[in-house]
Structure formats: C-alpha cells, structure tokens
Amino acid sequence: MATTNDLKNGMVLKIENQLWQVLEFLHVKPGKGPAFVRTKLKNVTSGKIIDKTFNAGTKVETANVDRRDMEYLYNDGTDYVFMDLEDYDQVSLAPELVGDSANFMLENQKVQVAFHDGAALYIELPPSVELAITHTEPGLQGDRSTGGSKPATVETGYEIQVPLFLEEGTKVKVDTRSGEYLGRVKE
C-alpha cells in the first residue's frame, strides 16, 4: 500500500482488480478546499487511458511489478522471442502484448519486459532507437516556404516522415513513443 503522495511515473497500481500504470500525475492544492492528485492512468492489459482524481493522502494499492532486462532475439512467425540477460531463459510473447513496439525492435536489441505474478505485462523500449532507411523516394526541392518531408521505410518495415534530403541507407534516430524522426545519426 502507498498513498497518492508517493505516486511516481511508471508505477503500477491495482485498482478494482485491474493493473493501471501511472503515466502522469499532478498534485493540486487549490486556494479553497482540500488538496488532490490528478493522474493519467493506462490499463496495462487493454491499453486504455483514463484520467482519475484522488484526494491527497488516499491509500492506493501498488502492484508488484518485476522489470527484467531482456534481449529481443527473433520473431518465430507468430510470437516474439526474448532472452533474459541474467539467467538466459527464453520467453515467447504474443504480438498483442508486444503491440506497436514491434515497429522499433531489431534483433539483439535490449528492452525491458515487465512481469507481474510470472506473467508478462508490457515491453519498455528505450526512448529512441537508431534505424536505417531501407526505402525512400528521391526528395524534390520545390517552391516551399518550409522544409518538406517525405515518407521513408526503416529496416523494421515501419514508415516514418523524414526531411527531403535523406537517402536510402542513412541511419536515423526515431522516437519510440511517437514514431517521429529525431535526427540523423553521425557515423
């Protein structure tokens, strides 16, 4: 058990027998009335995001979540196979559990997998990854007041928007949360 004053981003709460991850929280102390905590919670199993308000100091039940460093090995056609870096056990995870993270995962990439009572909950990727562009059309400069962008396919098969000057084979940094282009990787 913890109080709402102990909340942190990434913490997993157990509310009405469901697991909810804290995405954001804000302690609010209005000039009139009691203080409260405004949170944005994500359901760990369904991915649904809700806003919930708690009175300050309210007790909330925390879930025991074990985050393990793992390495993504390969996709066996149906499941994604990960290896625990401590005991070298291999775990197969369903595509529903991996979700959009598959767009940014290359073989032998390090990720964190969260477990609760022995069952995998979700995958945490680093904030950004480096991927090579495998296909993009040549960029045509024209009469434009701002720099344009064009679609490009990266080595995982995911399509992102990149500036016109980038070519195939260029390594780019991609935000894993939004899928946005962050910049070129200097080699």
Give me the domain span that covers residue 42: 11-55
Residue 120 and residue 155 in one domain: no
Which residues lie below 8 Å from residue 86, measured CB to CB, with a gap of 6+?
68, 69
Does residue 144 belong to any structural domain of this protein?
yes
Looking at the structure of the chain, the number of domains it has is 3
CATH of the domain at 28: 2.30.30.30
Residue 105 and residue 132 in one domain: no
Question: Is 139's pLDDT higher than 80?
Answer: no
Residue 33 and residue 79 in one domain: no
% of the chain beyond a pLDDT of 90? 26
Q: In what helix (H) or strand (E) does residue 98 lie, and over which residues does it extend? A: helix 95-98
Which residues lie below 8 Å from residue 151, measured CB to CB, with a gap of 6+?
136, 137, 159, 160, 161, 162
pLDDT per residue as tens digits for the range 113-134: 988 888 888 888 888 999 999 9
Beta-ladder partners of 57: none
Please tell me what DSSP assigns to residue 78. Answer: S
pLDDT per residue as tens digits for the range 32-87: 889 999 999 988 877 789 999 999 888 999 888 888 999 999 988 889 999 998 89
